[in-house]
Amino acid sequence: MNPSFDVVVPTLGRPSLGRLLEALAAAEGPWPGQVFVVVDGGDETIDPPPGIARQVTVLSGAGAGPAAARNVGWKASAADWIVFLDDDVVPNPGWSVRLEHDLVGLPPDMAASQGRVRVPLPADRRPTDWERNVKRLESALWITADMAIRRQALETVGGFDERFRRAFREDADLALRLFDAGWSLVQGSRETLHPVGPGQFLKSVRLQAGNADDALMETLHGPNWYERADAPRGRRSRHLGATAALALALLTRRKTAWVLWTALTAEFALRRILPGPRTADEVARMAVTSALIPPAAIWHYARGKVRARRLARPGAVLLDRDGTLVHDVPYNGEPDRVVPLEDARDALARLRAAGLPIAVVSNQSGIGRGLLSTEQVQAVNRRVEELLEPLGPWFVCPHAPDMGCACRKPRPGLVVAAAEALGVEPARCVVIGDVGADVQAALSAGARAILVPNGKTRPEEVASAPLVAPSLSAAVDLVLEAAR
């Protein structure tokens, strides 16, 4: 049986939406069950082509950006797969046939299939800087211009992170959270056309607002997220140098500072001018915007750092039990064998003094394996609290690994449940644990994670963790620093 699929299109009501709907109506092969058009601002009057009108459902977004709009769309669907299309793309005539081919037979751990985006450029001249910028979409990984995502995968990680308010990096964030939750993504065979829209004079300057999302990505996924998402780091270090030279020149009026700024700006402008058509308009645009882009990029990055710090300020701390709070005794059902880690009492005292709510999230598969009773686990938990004082609510997964539950880490169930009980959004929770499953559960739920390795932590788990601390006390230092 072929999988069912719906299409979700977030839109601001741009004219290009009609072109997309016409392409869907004319496409050969299987049709989507529903096309959910989520209007996130602008004109909510949608006039779909007659051939597809009965399948188009118009939903209203909250004006919170494309990530939030996509969440509105997929949560309204009941299909096996959700195909996200941007409102400025045009699927090829054979798109539906190729989509079905891409989805049929995918293994159960495959979360998503990305369509191939093609950006047509003028054949009679060199492309402009703006056209070359759009052309880069052809080689970008995990963009949601055409991305089919398994419903189960979206449910596992909670969909798109609505803290990303622009159409930038929300797709990379979702991809990394899917990877952390154990899912895989694959390139499909279908093709989608992405025409180049008009490029206004200062559009490249306005696009520098995306640097704020880079700052948020660094906060959520660590400084190595660029490599993990195969995303270029760009010219931020050079932009910082040009901005510093300009500031020094304006403040001190030193000739050397002006010379340095001029040299850095000229190098940037030439890098953009030489591959292009070199018309008078294009050269003028490159000269002006090459001077404005560096300070704009640095301003938005700094602003994004401040915002990311505020958004990520911890509201609660969720702690693993074995190997994090107490020494790990496999399948321990004897309270007398509980031995806290040396720095656990002091670390917990500092969290309590800071007023941060605490909870424990612990896999106890010994219950599901028949090695322990629920009463034994509860007795051990009571002993932990006798030694370390009350720890807030406990959330325990009793299932064996092969039971397929939603609560066993690395799945996010325990983290989500603990956050709900504490009245805190998962995004404002920090999970501290000693193995990769703790990190993956946190990231899948949209929470932050700190790994505290011990002798049982695998090197690859340390390498992939966004934050690593040498001890529980050091992990609490990181939490309290972020809470200031």
Residue 113's H or E segment, with its range, is strand 110-118
Residues forming beta bridges with residue 7, ordered by sequence position: 35, 83
Name the residue type at position 181.
A
Per the annotation, the verdict on 6 as an active-site residue is: no
SS3 450: strand
b/e sequence 175-206, b meaning 16+ C-beta within 10 Å: bbbbbbbbbebeebebebbbebeeeeeeebbe
| Residue in 171, 322, 434, 438 annotated catalytic | 322
Tell me 82's DSSP state.
Answer: E
Task: Say how far apart CA 451 and CA 445 lie, in whole Å.
Answer: 16
Beta strand 358-363 with 316-319 is: parallel
SS3 451: strand
Tell me the longest C-alpha to C-alpha distance in the chain: 82
Say which residues have a Cβ less than 8 Å from residue 244's Cβ, sequence separation at least 6: none
| Residue in 129, 320, 434, 438 annotated catalytic | 320
Per the annotation, the verdict on 322 as an active-site residue is: yes
Instruction: Answer whether 166's CB lies under 8 Å from 191's CB.
Output: no
* Positions marked catalytic: 320, 322
